[in-house]
Amino acid sequence: MSKIKVAELFYSIQGEGRYMGVPSVFLRTFGCNFKCQGFGMPRGELSNEAENIDPTQYQEYKSLPLVSTGCDSYASWDPRFKHLSPLLDTDGIADAIVDTLPHKEWRDEHLVITGGEPLLGWQKQYPDLLDHPKMAGLKEITFETNGTMRLTSAFKEYLLKWSMPDIDFQREITFSVSAKLPCSGEPWEDAIKPEVVCDYQNYGYVYLKFVISTEEDLKDAERAVEEYRAAGFTGPVYIMPVGGVDSVYSLNNRTVAEMAMRKGWRYSDRLQVPLFKNEWGT
């Protein structure tokens, strides 16, 4: 039986992107190829806020402190926190997912597979989970990815079956690509992979979502969009304010909304911040 290392599993409202406001189950897998220590920091500086948290003081994920700089999901990839993310079999994950649903069956809820980077190590395991009898009735799935991981041939073949006209019901697959700009602290050549993202378009609906706080970030987003478009990317572009905590988010959400209007791009909120203060499990 397949196993996935699960950092978090919870039911909430999707706060970002295409499905903003939709009741959703979030499966946060463990592991990421980035660190994104630049978020919320002056250009060129890296945050050590998460590094200063002592993992031995915490026995459960939801008691971890929130950070205002760097990756707000640090415990989903930092090996020092891996003891908080159990390796669960797909039977147990499917049971736990359905148990979070208000009617204990799929109705209008959507599933978000997030991370960390969910396409990094677990592509082989997803078919077992998504074909589980308890997942029958699930109609919409989003992979929240940083857009740097190629899909494996086996996973591509699997995803294609959900768009075949002869199956009982089709599943809508979305790739929400949060490509990392220099404000993340990740190098451009590692983070902006247009050919990888363009390939996702063959297997689902794809949009780009950039985290922005300054005009410099916006310029970087423009440059990135040019590169994606030149490679054949046809989907919409969202920009979203930086800020995993309310004090940071509320400083730049209106500015970013106005930037989106100016560019004719879409604005994505982070509803989980004003609604739930971005607590773990929201």
Angle, alpha carbons 264-270-274 (nearest 5°):
130
One of 24, 47, 69, 73 touching ligand SF4 (CB under 6 A): 73
Question: Residue 7, interface with ligand SF4 (CB under 6 A)?
Answer: no
The set of residues, in sequence order, having a beta carbon less than 8 Å from that of 240 and lying 6+ positions away, is 16, 17, 209, 210, 211, 212, 256, 267, 268, 269, 270
CB of 160 to ligand SF4, least distance (A): 26
- Binder among 77, 203, 207, 238 for ligand SF4 (CB under 6 A): 77
Q: Is 240 exposed, middle or buried (0-12, 13-18, 19+ CB in 10 A)?
A: buried
Q: Please list, in sequence order, all residues whose beta carbon lies within 8 angstroms of the beta carbon of residue 149, skipping any fewer than 6 positions away.
A: 33, 117, 119, 120, 196
Q: Which stretch binds ligand SF4 (CB under 6 A): 22-30, 33-41, 156-164, 264-272?
A: 33-41
Which of 88, 86, 72 minimizes the C-alpha distance to 144?
Answer: 72
Footprint (CB under 6 A) of ligand SF4, residues 81-120: 115-117
Looking at the Cβ atoms of 97 and 120, the one nearer to ligand SF4 is 120
Interacting span for ligand SF4 (CB under 6 A) from 30-38, 61-69, 82-90, 125-133: 30-38
List the x/- string, 137-176, binding to ligand SF4 by CB under 6 A. Answer: ---------x------------------------------
Choice between 106 and 238, CB closer to ligand SF4: 238
Q: Minimum Å distance from CB 264 to ligand SF4?
A: 26
User: How many residues of this chain bind ligand SF4 (CB under 6 A)?
Assistant: 11
Q: Residue 193: which of 10, 34, 4, 21 has the closest Cα?
A: 34
Instruction: Measure Cα distances from 31 to 60, 214, 265 in Å.
Output: 17, 29, 30
Q: Which residues bind ligand SF4 (CB under 6 A)?
A: 32, 34-36, 71, 73, 77, 115-117, 146
